[in-house]
Homo-oligomer: A and B are copies of this chain.
Amino acid sequence: MKLTRKSFFKGAALGIISLPFVIKTCGAQNTAQNSGPNIISGKKYKWKMVTTWPPNFPVLGEGCNLFAKWVKEMSGGRMEIKVYGGGELVPALESFNAVSSGAAECGHGAAYYWAGLAPSAQFFASVPFGMNAQQMNAWIISGGGQELWEELYDKFNLLPMPAGNSGVQMGGWFNKEINSINDLKGLKMRMPGLGGKVLAKAGGNPILIAGGELYTSLERGVIDATEWIGPYHDYIMGFHDIAKYYYSPGWHEAGTTLELFFNKEKFNALPNDLQEIMRTAAMRLNMWMLSEFEAKNTFYLKKILSESKAEIREFPQEVLTQLKQYTDEVLADVTETDAFAKKVYDSYDKFRKDAVEWSKLTEKVFYNKIQI
């Protein structure tokens, strides 16, 4: 799902194919009204939220707008948050710095965007062959992840909160079939982040292309393949009209956690009731986004299957097993060079391994033997 910096400057261009989908959501942010009882006195706050998403972007931008609406209503209008899409106030990938410095009070994004500033940050978003949504939430909320995340962001004067999850993403759109690991050799694929590094180890050619240029690049053969998110967002991009194969699963993003991050000084200066309102609204957003992804992807998968000639493919186990080995090498590179990254990954991987054993008796059996 990772977008490149360039893509954010072109927010509006994202909806190339189905712009109405984006337009339809425009203005949602302005519909938040002060429906509070007006019985509340006390200081009023006007905050800015910078985000890494195009304005009103489906699910992600919409969710930020909802967060602002919930907070305004819960606070009886005392806290108004204006949500900015990437590039509207600061470039999308400057959000972290902008909130850190206090230029904006809060932001929404995904922690892997800040890997350049802190390598361990990406483990709070997504790890290739890592945990899915349910496991990530359990690790963060109830397994010690939140404490480590706060320790990391504290160095940047920030306070993080989980605030959304994409669920298991799709593997991407391909114009070449992948039958063995050798088919990845020389493959030109839009694939940022750790996933791109893994692809490179397999001999592939990970390319960074802005979201707004992806459709044309894939259509003209500048790239052979691209990952994006899942059926809902992919459908809006129109990839099903120009790609031969839709590959499953998203081994590189099995449950990407989205985040809210707050300027710590500004957050701590809030009265306790508003602090708790923020925390609670963040968790509501966390739940809402995952449910929205699940429902919308379910619906749009059917739509893609009925409207497109693109064929569904599943990466062969042999390919995935090899990619997992390359992933281990990539992760070792990260943890060997950054002590805090090792500390975070140790916690992450210990929780993951135990959660796998639990899932073998429950969720895994559910999908294989119950949901028949």
**Chain A interface residues toward B at CB < 8 A:** 35-37, 39-43, 70, 73-76, 129, 132-135, 137-143, 167-170, 230-231, 248-251, 254, 271-273, 276-277, 279-281, 283-284, 286-288, 290-292, 294-299, 301-302, 312, 314-315, 317, 320-321, 324, 351, 354-359, 361-372
CB <8 Å contact, B324 and A372:
yes
A362's closest neighbor in chain B, by CB?
B168
Bound-complex Cα distance A290 to B162 (A): 15
Chain B residue contacts of A39, Cβ below 8 A:
41-43, 271
Chain B residue contacts of A43, Cβ below 8 A:
39
A300 → B minimal CB distance (Å):
9
Interface of chain A: mostly helix, strand, loop or mixed? helix
Q: Given contacts A40-B41, A73-B273, are A142 and B296 in contact (CB under 8 A)?
A: yes
Q: Which of B277, B364, B370 contacts A367 (CB 8 A)?
A: B364
CB <8 Å contact, B132 and A133:
no
CB <8 Å contact, A370 and B249:
yes
CB <8 Å contact, A272 and B363:
no
CB <8 Å contact, B138 and A294:
yes
Q: A284-B287, A297-B362 are in contact. List 13 more A-B contacts (CB 8 A).
A: A36-B273, A37-B272, A129-B370, A132-B363, A142-B292, A143-B295, A249-B361, A249-B369, A277-B277, A294-B355, A324-B372, A356-B371, A359-B367
CB <8 Å contact, A283 and B287:
yes
CB <8 Å contact, B142 and A74:
no
Looking at A41, A142, A368, which has the most chain B CB atoms within 10 Å of its CB? Answer: A142
Q: Which of B70, B168, B299, B359 contacts A280 (CB 8 A)?
A: B70
A59 → B minimal CB distance (Å):
10
CB <8 Å contact, B365 and A249:
yes
A302's closest neighbor in chain B, by CB?
B354
Looking at A283, A297, A301, which has the most chain B CB atoms within 10 Å of its CB? Answer: A283
CB <8 Å contact, B132 and A366:
yes
Chain B residue contacts of A277, Cβ below 8 A:
74, 277, 280
Bound-complex Cα distance A266 to B213 (A): 53
Bound-complex Cα distance A169 to B13 (A): 46
CB <8 Å contact, B273 and A355:
no
Q: Given contacts A280-B280, A320-B369, are A358 and B42 in contact (CB under 8 A)?
A: no
Bound-complex Cα distance A26 to B251 (A): 43
Bound-complex Cα distance A372 to B364 (A): 12
Chain B residue contacts of A137, Cβ below 8 A:
287, 290-291, 294
Chain B residue contacts of A70, Cβ below 8 A:
276, 280
CB <8 Å contact, B361 and A248:
yes
Chain B residue contacts of A132, Cβ below 8 A:
363, 366, 371
Chain B residue contacts of A35, Cβ below 8 A:
272
